Structure formats: structure tokens, C-alpha cells
Structure 1
Amino acid sequence: ASSDLNLTQSLATDTSDRREEIPEERRTLIKEKVKRETVTGVDQGIIMQGWLFKEIQHNVKAPWLRVRKHWFVLTQDSLDYYTNNELNAKRLGMLVLTSLCSVLWPDKGTYKGTGYWNITVYGRKHHYQLYTKHLNQCIQWACAIQNVINCKAPVETPTLLLIQDIEKNCTNSEVLENIYKWNPILQHTQNPLYSPLLPFPYGIGAHHLKNTKGYTTLHDEAVKVFNSLQHLETEQDPIPLIQGILQTCLDLEPLRDEIYCQLIKQTSNPPHVGSISDLRNWQLLTCMSVTFLPSNTVLKYLRFHIKRSQDQFPETEVYKYAEFIADSLVRTKCRKRVPSCEEILVLMRREEMSCTIHYAGSKLCRVTINSHSTAGEVVNSLLVTLGLGQSRNRFALFEQNLTDQWLVADDTVVADIITRFENLAINVEEPENQWKLYFKLYCFLDLDNIPKNNLEFALLFEQVHEMVTKGYFPASEETLLALAALRLQFTIRDFTTHVPLPKLQELFPMHILQARVQQSVKALLSTNSKGLSHLLPGALASSLWGSTTQKQKLEEEQLLKVRLKEEAAALMATIVEQWKQLPGMTQLEAMTTYLSIVREWSGYGATLFEVGAFMNSAVSVAQTLWLAVGAKGLALYKQGDVESVESFDYRQISSFEVTERNTFKITLRKKDLLFESCKAQEIVQLITIYSANHFKSSTRSGDHRSRPIITGSLANSHHCNLHNDSSTEEA
């Protein structure tokens, strides 16, 4: 029944002919198969044998799985399959096992789709797709094959052997020169590369990225990148190609050593030292050195190459690039993103770049950073530049646009944020909605002793006003109108018609106006049975079309827009009238009055987060509340309510932890509170800082009660000094 099976690999009868077909540098990767010898009817060296299904290979992919049953035998040298389990059965195929072979383990997806558990064994030229109906059997085969692979001696390519020779003879210049002279594989070439310089596991090394980013095998990707390096030497605009190579290396970590070796090869004895084509490779090597590091073996080889290049070409551009790279290798940690186009441009010139930090409304500060500068370093630099070094409050950087705001961890590389903003800007049409970096108050530890003539007071005022306009200050409309008038007085000074007014959403929480208008429109709908056409302007009413239901929906939408516009105009007029009543009030008085009004609310000075709260263990649906995290404790508010539902200080908290990515738990003395929030890590980090400060203050005053236990994992935040200059200006 199996006589019509197509062989996946026919056995060579003449092994000498087969060896002649194998390139010299790859012969060490192939092990010759030893013929099986039998003793008393039992094969020697058999590790495992049994029936498995093997996928039938066809030129045209069938919509269903086609398998055939074979007898498989695993030995220390190979995985063979036969027609049956008899002693004289015909061997149909053989997969030689080396240390570069790999096994892809079973997954539930294949089982759900086919009813079979599947393992894939990758060899140098082909692979076996094996299937069984039993998971235990599948795992046993996968473990046995992987153990054979693990016991094989590591395969070493000529380049890897030469790297070892160079390391052994690094102090003997004569031997080194002979190594380079007689081994062209270490030197620049204009010929294509047909196989990687370093050994790679066979098969789809990047199978998890194949569908999303189109990657193939690591072997093929390495050859493609070398082809790109040769194109780079003549490219007019090298930045996109450099960024693409860096992205490939960032996605495929095993490829990084290979590309470092390729660049070392291409910068060794080039035809024209210091030419544009030669410097292109040094520029890419510069960008790689600030993005990720190679393994220790390749790192030693890279440092040797840099020192050799400096000795060979002193006082040249090559020397300067080598010096820059050597310095970067000491400071680099693996980045999360590749350098932006702006960063690549400055790296090609071995320069630093300028980063714009916004603060206190329309003000901004330009800070000089490099590829290693962290957010904590930038914050420390700004504290000195802006004269805030003596403040007891804490500051941080935030990523922010019109709708969202995210805390930047102190150890985040700022250059990664710039790359992220560059990628996001492609899909953002409105300039005002672009992402920006803001310097803000982070922990409000001492609000009572902020000097009023200090920048810190202005920062506090701006953040409180932002909280008000986003709807995180529960107050009557009358109070909100008064605050809006004070904001106008602060922004424009005394009433005038010569200065354009800011948008209403910059003065007043728009959701209150929208809720009021929607309620009035619904009231009209419920009381007016004749329709709403007579309530709309003639042009709008006559332009409506369609069925009755659709017409009513369109009428409602049009009426909502019209009423919203009318109410917004009326609201702005009311704000302006109140603004006219504040002549002569200075900016400082406007800020002080504004903050005194907001200070009356119990949530003043706390950071508010919208959370889903499970107040009862029997309830499976979260209740949306405000969680206020402040210096004295925590409080829960219903959205829009002045009084808190529940509040507790840090002495009542036994422990707190992030239980899942977006879930955190606070344990009190008598109950547990479970919360959901996309900012769970930020919330727990704030609680950590506030509780530590609270118990530090309590200890000073003689209260030695135990502090809450942090049982979740939090990133350690730290601050370092930024050694670059900063300049400030007002937009």
C-alpha cells in the first residue's frame, strides 16, 4: 500500500559522490550514516522506534491534511523511516541529526484543526512533519529527538574557528597578519554571501514572526541582510535601509551576532579606506552599537577589530567612528525600539540630538540627549535647569496627547520614545494631537510650602487646571464657570477684544455641556410627536431624506449639533461676562484664587485614576469609580460625587500588589479590594512612593507601626545625572 509513496530524500549509494557535491566549508555539517548492524534480530543504537504519521508532500497544497503511516527509528545519528517494522523493511528516508537540527513542539492549534498532535523536525535540506493522535507519544518523540540533538558536538563554521584563532593570538601581530592574509572570509568582499558566517539552527527560527513580518529562516535572513549591506555602500539615502536592518536584528535576536560579524568583515581591508562606501558600513556599525550588544564572544572580536582599525588608520574618519563605537559598547543596554530617522542622522555624524520637553502649559525646554539617556537622567537635568532641585515633591516625564497620558519609567531610554512618536505621527493628521513629552509633578508630597513665585507653583496650577477640564473635579456649573473666568484672566490678563479667545474645551469640562444638551434633546423627543424638523433651520430640515426611522435619527443628530453649538456659545459668553468682573487681577492672584477653590475638595493633591472596582467578592461586574492616590491615603469616589464612598490611610493597608497586567489588589485589615485599570503598574508605584514617605514621616514623629507589604513585582526607579546642557524657552 505504501509502494506509491514519494521519497522525501533518497539515500545516496555512493557517499563519495555526495561529498563532492557539498561545499568544502559545509562538509563538517554532514554526518555519514553508518549502516545498521543486527545482533540477534535487534538493531544496535536504537533510542526509540514506533509508528507515526508523516505528512505527504505535494507541489500543490491540499486544503486538508494528507498523512501516511510509517515505522520510525531514532538513533544517535539520524531519524529514519521504513515501510514497516520488519527487520528487512525498506528504508524510505533519513534525516541526519546534528547540533543545528531543531524540533518544533506540538501546539493545540494543530490538534484542533486536524485531530493530530504534530512535531516538526528540521534538518539541513528538508524536514519531517510527524503526527500522532496521542499527546504523550508526541512529547516522548520530541524529547528523545531533542536529547539526541543536544548531545551532538557544536558545529563550528570557518569564521567561528578563525575568531577563536584571533583571540588566542591577539598579542602576536605576525600571526594575526597571516590569519587575515590567508583567510579572505575575514575581509571585505564584493561577492554575494551564500551561507551565514556563523552556524544557525535549521528550520524556521523565526516562525512566530513569519506571518506578521514575513521572515523566513535565519539562514535566509542572514544572506538577505548581507545583500542589503552591499547595497548600502552605494545607497544615496541610507537611513531607511539602516533602519530596516536594525529592525530585523531587533526582531530576530539570534541574527545580531551574524550581522556584527558581517560588518566586521566588510570594514576589514576595504578597497578604499575612508570612502563613502566604507563609511556607510561604519555608520551602520555605529547605529548597531547603540541599539543592542552581541554575545561575549563576538563582543571581544568586535573590540579587537575596533582597536586594530584605530591602530591602522589614526586621525581618520574610520578612527573617529571606531572611537565612538568603543564608547557606546560600554554604555549600551538592549533597546526596545530601533533608532528614529532623526537619531540615525545624528549618529551618522557622531553627534547628540535635541529633545523637546513641554511643561507648564505652553512652555518648552530643549534638552541635549544621546542614545543612552534615560528619562530619570532627563528629569534630573530639568530639576537643575528649572531651579527645582530643592523641591520636596517628585517629578517625572509623561507621554501625552489630547486624550491620553502615560507615565514614563525612569529607566526608559528617551530615544525609544522619540522613535515611538515618529511611528505614531504617520497616522495622526492633526498637529495638536501629536504625542509630546511633558515634565510634570508626579508625587504631591508637600503642597503647602510651594513658593508662589516659583515655577513649581505654575506647574501645580497647570496640572490642577488640566484635571478640571478633563472632568476630574466634581463641582457645580457655577463654580466651573468661575474657574474658567479665572483661567482667562491668567491667560490673557484683563478683558480685551484684541486677543482671540481659547477654545471652550481649554476652559471648561465639555462632557458636562454635552450631557446637558443630550438630556434636553431627549426631552424634546419624548414630548414632541410631530418630529423635529420645525426646530431646525430651513436648510437643514429640507435636506433630510430617507425612511421615517432614519429621518428621525438624522434629525436628532442635527439638532444635537445645533444645540451644542448654541449652548457652547452661550456658555462662552457667560464666562466672558464673569471675566470682565476681574479687572486688575494679576496672574499670581488668578492662580492663587483658582487653587483655593479647588483646594476645598477632599481629593485635592491626589492623582485620580478611573478604575473598575470589585467592592464585593460575590459581584463579577466591576463598578467604575475614581481612585484618588494621595500623600495621606487612598479614597474612592463615584464619578462626579464630591464626597468619597470610602477612604483609608496607609496604616490600614496590609499589602498591595499587581496580580495581573491590568489588575491590582489592596489588602486592608478586614477585606481585600480588587481593581482593574490599564495603569495598574503606575498606581501601585505611586502607592509605593506615598506609603514609604508616609511611614518615613511617622517614624520621625515616633509612630513605629508596620508599613504595608509590597507583594507585586515593580521596576526599580532610579535617577542619574545627565551631563548634557539644556536650554529653555517659551513657545
Structure 2
Amino acid sequence: ATILAQAHRQYGAGRAELTAKALYLSCVMQYPLYGVTLFPVTYKGYWAHGPNVLLGVGSEGVVLVRPTDKVVLAEYPYSNIAALLMDPVDNGLTISLTHHGQHDGHRYVVLGHEDSNTGGQDGQRCIVLESAQKNEAAWLMAAYSPVLANGLADEPPRRAAPASERSRLAAALKSARRALVDSGMLRRPTEASAGNFLRNTLRRLSKHRLEKMRLDIAAEGQGESYKNFPAGYWCWARSLPHSLTKLNEAEEVAAMQIFKDIMSHAGLTATHEGSSTNLANNNSVAQDSDSDDRVALAQALLQRCLQKDTLLCELYMQLIKQTTEHPEPCSRVSARHWALLCAAVGAALPPAKPLRRLLLAHLRYRGTALHHGEEGKFARRAEQVALSIAQVPRRLAAPSKEEVLCAAARRPMHVRVLLLDGKQHGLVFGPAATADHLVTMLREKIGLTDAATGYALYEVCANSTPAGAGERALAGSERVGDVLARWEKAGATAAACRLVFKKRLFLGERPLQTSCAAEMELLYYQVLHSVRHDRLPIETDEAVMLAALHAQVVKGECAGGGEECALAAGCVLPARLAQPALPAPAVRLHHLALRGTPPHLAMQRALTLASSWPLTRATIFDVMQSFTSNWPRALWLAVDARGLTLLRRGSRAALVSHDHDQLLAVSPAPRALLLVTRADRKHAKLVLSTDQAYQIATLIKDYIEAVRGPVSPAVAAAGEGAAS
């Protein structure tokens, strides 16, 4: 208080209020964070400053700030930010950097000292953060730099197409309808009999109903009728007397149930008289409670139709009809019809070519003619999905809840991929995306060069014991939407099952030596992950060297009593080698010997050390054997580019090895694997019990193909069984 009073007498006494405010602002403007809005965020990944930081958004760029003392840890000008990506499901915010921003456009301040290359952060491609205020932070950045708003805004406004273009698309739609009629797939509409006409005309009609009848007759007269298929046949209807395609008696009942489900999904309940009750005008509480039921109804409907081609064609005919000339095109009912059509297109296209042609013509015409409304946006989104989905295999299971909701919101799906260095990357993808598509996107995002090959996505279950026993490498052609649907069906959450990106095939004479900084970091943490979970057995002296190298990577120079060495050892070593078994003085001495070694060079030395271990380049599977009593029942099967090796668990000593050239057949089963090798070797026939037989067979096939080309029919058949 005395200091404040003295400062007030020296600087503020006798000054006018306006003068004092001006002096106050001139002082505050010297503060480094003046004019910067701070948001509490969580940094996803490993770095020396902890996960809890502040994201500062200012007029010149964004900064990462330490919460305790408000020290600026990193600066990123807007010129070095390429794009922003908001996680549509979680609170994730990804800031992608340009190539210039990875190296020259930012600085790092560690413990109050400025450094241009500290902590291994230089060269990163993006920053992944979590914050409940992600929308406020992202749109504030977009306000300062409007270029960043391109990745946040909805579909930009479209200009109306020329009249000639609309006429051409209308003619194409008419031609597609006629081709479908000529194909004989459609059931002819029923005509009103004379008795029904007489009975209906004898009824008392109000003036309103008479006027509506005149308008309907006039509209039908102006429309096109082709082979007794009037124009009203293709338009929205409240009731459906029979199926639209030719079906048998059992399928006819299913077709009527399809129409009932479509109307129920839209919020309409059909009655026996053909009228309908609108359920879409309930209060908001009822609508929220009904959302889950609507999604479940859409999933059940798609699941039934995907199992039979005739029902799938009937579903598409009804959806095309219900999305044509709706009486209230901007209503919630029409939007739900279009949302269901988008979800169906993402699952599978119509199997019949004439119907597929009609679907595309319908979407193109609606997307162009209704360019300014919600129907046009849905049509354009469905057309994009239809064109992409034609290149991938058809799915046999209904989409997940997230996919149905994304179809209704006209936005792509989102998934987080975990790297073994602790970073998470959010990827957005469409219904047609496969595992290869996500791998390509992730490689570009983290900056892997073309020389970095052999990477794959793994489906990992958190409850698997030991680590690695429950992981499964996704096939390149496997659709990511099917993986999410399988997780949802099994009741697994994002915490229980996740996607992990890591190297699968180790090829070449020196697979752990690379000039790519991003790949070196991935390989380094993949080796540490294997050591930490005891899937890569090492000796005590090797553990001492590895702990010291990791301490140099994450903690920097050895500061004092070796506490950082103990923490590093606990993070990377298995329990049997951690304290008190690991000699702490020896780790500290090795750490002192690394003084002056930059983090990337320490990583390179650790990978050089790991290259001398025989199992570093192998994928290890847990197997059981019962064909000999000379070996333990529980074994390890190591598969690498050279061949197969059986070992005792936790040991490096090989019991038997076979090169890939010696394999005659690989026959996987759901819980067993048969390996047949040349007869001149001992243990030429191996029968192993494992739940990962198909994974092992596929890995063997991929290694053989990568080394010497296409495999023999016996091994190829095993690989095909694994893919199925």
C-alpha cells in the first residue's frame, strides 16, 4: 500500500481524469499481450510446457501463453497460418501452419529466454488444441484474418444457373424417367374405377375442395404423361397405395413399411384415409427427445434395405418421389426427406443402372434449379457423395449415428487419429473415405515425405491386454464409416476404441534411418511405446542409455540431482526395469555425457541404438502352441521383412525361424493359424492358436508382395480371407 501511495503522489496527483486515463493506456500498451484475447486451452501433444496453456488471439497473429506468469511460449503470425479446423463433435481446434510458418514464422520462448529452435517444436505442421470456447476463438481469428474463414463458413452463396442449363438438366431428368419406365422396373399406377368415381362424385364437395380438384386437373394436364405414368407419379404424396417397383407379395408388405418409416422419420404419421398428422410442430423439448428415435429409425430402415437389392431400389424410388415438388419446400418435413436421401446415398447407390441414372439426374436438376434453398444444398451435397461413393465397395451395414447426423447437417464426418508421441489430429472425411484416404490426409498434415512408406491406421481397443493384442491394421480399401458403425454397434466409446497411426512395414536395409524429421519423431516414439509395454525386450544397460537419451529429448540438459532422468525412465521403461531396479547414477552419467546434444540428434542416436536390437523391425503377436512340450505354451510370433520367428515371451532367443521364401502356405482361421514350410526343415508345419490369425496372414502377404511382388495362390487366398 505504501508503494502504491508513493506512485500515486508521483504520477497521478494533480492530473485530470482524462490525462490519467491517457497515461494509463500508454503504459498498458507496452504490455506484450495488450489487445490479445486469451482463451484457456489444452495442448494435445508432448512438449516441455505442460498441457494447460492460454491461446491468445490478437490483430497480428495468435500466441500460446503460460497461465502462471503470462510468458509467451510461441507466436504464429496470420501469414503463417494456412487453415483452421474445428472438430464438429468434440472441442478440438486444429491450427494448420504453412511451410514457411513451420520454420521461419514463429519463435519459442522457454523459461523466459527466446529460442528459435527449442524442444523439438520447430518443423511442426499443425497445433492441436482443446477448448470449450473453440467457436469464439476460431471466429475471432477469422475476423482478424478473413482468409481463415473459408474453412469455417457454410456453403458460399451460389448464383442462379442460366436458363439454358436448367433446360438441359430438365431434359436429362425427363430422359432418365423415360429410360426407367422402359426398363420395366416400375409398377404401373392404378387407375380410379368407375364405381369409385361415381361414389366420389356423389359426395358433397365444399367450394375449397372443388377448387383444389380443378387446380390438380389443370396441373396434370400441363404435365407429361409417358406410358400411363402421369407427372404426379413422380411428385411428393401423402399416401402410397402400392409399391413403386415390381415386387412379390412379401416384398410388397416391406415396401409399404418403408413408406411408413419414411413418413415417420419426416414427422408425419399416415392414417388409413390417406391424410397425415404433422408431428414436426411440437415443442422443442419433444423434438430433442425425438431426435434419437428418428436416427434409430433411419438406421433400421437402411439396414433392412441394404440386405436386399429390390428393397434398396424401392427405397430410392420412394425417396426420389418424396423429394420432388414438395408442397412446402422450406419445411422441416422436406428437409428430413432430403436428409434421409443423403444418408442412403452415403451407404450405397441403387444397384440398378437406370435408377442410378435417375438419381443423379434428379440431384443435378434439383441442385441447380433450387440453388438458393435448403433443397438445393441437400441435392448438391448428395450429388458430391454419390459421385465419390461410386468408386468404393458397397457397404453392408447401416451407417452410424454420427454419419446420419452429419448427413442431416450436410457436413463431413470427423475422427481423431492418435500418434504415439501423444499428439492427436482431427480429420474430416466423407462417407466414401477409406483407410488409404485418411492415411494420405494424415501424411500431408504431419509432413511425411514420399520416401516414408509402410504406414497404416490401426484400430486399437483400450481394454486389450497386453498392449498390442487388441489392435488391428485397417485394410487400405476399408471404409472408415464402417469402422465407426462397428464401434457404435459394439457399444464402444471414443476412449475405448481409437485409431492410431504408426509404421507397419519396415522395409530396406536401414528402415529406422531417415532424413525426414517428422518420420524420425514417429519412429522414435513408436520404439518407446514398444519398450514401455514390454513388447521389445531390452537389457539393463540398454535401458540406461535409452532413459538418458529420452531425458535429453524432453528435458534438455542435465540440471542437478537426476530427477529428470528418473521421470524419463518411468515414462519409457517397463515396470521391471524402472526404479529401483534401474541404476539412477548410471542414467545421470549418461545424461551428463549428452550435454550440448540437440533433441533431434538424441532421437537419432536412440534409433541407432534400437536398430541393433533384433526385434525392433518386427511386429510381435501373442500366440499359443500345443504341438511340442519342449517349448512353452505361450509364445511370441515375430513377423518382419525377412520372415517369421517364434520366441519365448519376453526373450530375444529364437526357437525357430523361417524365411518368407520357405513358406508354402498360410492358412488362417478365426482362432488358429496354420503355417506350412519346406519339408527339409524341422517344425515344417506349425499350428498356432491366436485371435489375430487374419492379421498375421495379411502382414505376411504384404511383406512378400513388397519384397518380391505378387504372392503364390496359397498365401494370396490367406490374404483375401483376412481382408474379408
Which position in structure 1 is the counterpart of 2:61? none
Aligned counterpart in structure 2 of residue 187 of structure 1, from 229, 235, 240:
235
Is residue 487 of structure 1 aligned with residue 545 of structure 2?
no
- Whether the 8 Å contact between 1:484 and 1:575 is mirrored in structure 2 is no
Q: Report the Cα offset of residue 690 of structure 1.
A: 2.1
Is residue 381 of structure 1 aligned with residue 446 of structure 2?
no
Which position in structure 1 is the counterpart of 2:707? 694
Is residue 459 of structure 1 aligned with residue 505 of structure 2?
no
Distance of aligned partners of 1:182 and 1:590 in 2 relative to their CA distance in 1, 3 Å threshold: closer
Distance of aligned partners of 1:223 and 1:162 in 2 relative to their CA distance in 1, 3 Å threshold: closer
Which position in structure 2 is the counterpart of 1:320? 377
Which position in structure 1 is the counterpart of 2:84? none
- Whether the 8 Å contact between 1:270 and 1:278 is mirrored in structure 2 is yes
Which position in structure 1 is the counterpart of 2:319? 263
Which position in structure 1 is the counterpart of 2:691? 678
Question: Per-residue displacement from partner, 1:401-421 (whole Å, max 9, x unpaired)?
Answer: 444321111111223334445
Distance across 2 between alignment mates of 1:675 and 1:637: 13
- Whether the 8 Å contact between 1:605 and 1:630 is mirrored in structure 2 is yes
Aligned counterpart in structure 2 of residue 628 of structure 1, from 615, 619, 638:
638
Q: What does 1:112-261 align with in structure 2 at a 5 Å threshold?
A: 160-162=187-189, 176=224, 186-191=234-239, 196-198=243-245, 201=248, 218=254, 221-222=257-258, 224-231=260-267, 234=280, 236-237=287-288, 240=292, 241-252=294-305, 253-254=307-308, 255-261=311-317
- Whether the 8 Å contact between 1:659 and 1:712 is mirrored in structure 2 is no
Describe the SS at the equivalent of 1:160.
coil
Q: What does 1:430-441 align with in structure 2 at a 5 Å threshold?
A: 433-441=495-503
Q: Report the Cα offset of residue 177 of structure 1.
A: 5.2
- Whether the 8 Å contact between 2:552 and 2:599 is mirrored in structure 1 is yes
Gap runs ≥5 in structure 1: 1-155, 164-171, 206-215, 514-567, 698-705, 719-731
Which position in structure 2 is the counterpart of 1:282? 338
Equivalent residue letter for 1:270: H
Aligned counterpart in structure 2 of residue 642 of structure 1, from 652, 663, 674:
652
Question: Per-residue displacement from partner, 1:352-409 (whole Å, max 9, x unpaired)?
Answer: 3444323241223333422212111222233344443332641111122444321111
Question: Per-residue displacement from partner, 1:492-545 (whole Å, max 9, x unpaired)?
Answer: 3345799898698743324x48xxxxxxxxxxxxxxxxxxxxxxxxxxxxxxxx
Q: What does 1:496-515 align with in structure 2 at a 5 Å threshold?
A: 506-510=571-575, 512=576
Distance of aligned partners of 1:707 and 1:278 in 2 relative to their CA distance in 1, 3 Å threshold: closer
Distance across 2 between alignment mates of 1:222 and 1:368: 31
Which position in structure 2 is the counterpart of 1:601? 613
Distance of aligned partners of 1:715 and 1:663 in 2 relative to their CA distance in 1, 3 Å threshold: same
**Which moves more between the two structures, 365-374 or 343-352?**
343-352
Equivalent residue letter for 1:591: M
Distance across 1 between alignment mates of 2:647 and 2:361: 62
Aligned counterpart in structure 2 of residue 610 of structure 1, from 622, 625, 628:
622
TM-score for both structures, normalised by structure 1:
0.55
Distance across 2 between alignment mates of 1:271 and 1:679: 55
Describe the SS at the equivalent of 1:710.
helix
Count of paired positions:
472
Aligned counterpart in structure 1 of residue 459 of structure 2, from 383, 388, 399:
399
Which position in structure 2 is the counterpart of 1:416? 482
Equivalent residue letter for 1:632: R
Q: Report the Cα offset of residue 637 of structure 1.
A: 0.6
- Whether the 8 Å contact between 2:456 and 2:501 is mirrored in structure 1 is yes
- Whether the 8 Å contact between 1:239 and 1:341 is mirrored in structure 2 is no
Which position in structure 2 is the counterpart of 1:329? 386
Distance across 1 between alignment mates of 2:415 and 2:486: 13
Question: Per-residue displacement from partner, 1:588-609 (whole Å, max 9, x unpaired)?
Answer: 3543443344433322311111
- Whether the 8 Å contact between 1:489 and 1:579 is mirrored in structure 2 is no
Question: Per-residue displacement from partner, 1:322-354 (whole Å, max 9, x unpaired)?
Answer: 233233323324235544444444433433344
- Whether the 8 Å contact between 1:625 and 1:638 is mirrored in structure 2 is yes
Distance of aligned partners of 1:571 and 1:335 in 2 relative to their CA distance in 1, 3 Å threshold: farther
What is the percentage of aligned positions where both structures have the same residue?
21
Distance across 2 between alignment mates of 1:344 and 1:505: 44
RMSD: 4.3
Distance across 2 between alignment mates of 1:181 and 1:265: 13
TM-score for both structures, normalised by structure 2:
0.56
Q: Report the Cα offset of residue 630 of structure 1.
A: 1.1
Q: Report the Cα offset of residue 645 of structure 1.
A: 0.4
Equivalent residue letter for 1:457: M
Distance of aligned partners of 1:579 and 1:621 in 2 relative to their CA distance in 1, 3 Å threshold: closer
- Whether the 8 Å contact between 1:196 and 1:222 is mirrored in structure 2 is no
- Whether the 8 Å contact between 2:553 and 2:598 is mirrored in structure 1 is yes
Distance across 2 between alignment mates of 1:331 and 1:676: 40
Q: Report the Cα offset of residue 318 of structure 1.
A: 2.1
Structure of higher CA gyration radius:
1
Distance across 1 between alignment mates of 2:323 and 2:439: 39
Distance of aligned partners of 1:196 and 1:357 in 2 relative to their CA distance in 1, 3 Å threshold: same
Q: Report the Cα offset of residue 219 of structure 1.
A: 5.7
Question: Per-residue displacement from partner, 1:635-686 (whole Å, max 9, x unpaired)?
Answer: 1111122210011222322x23334234333222113223332222222222
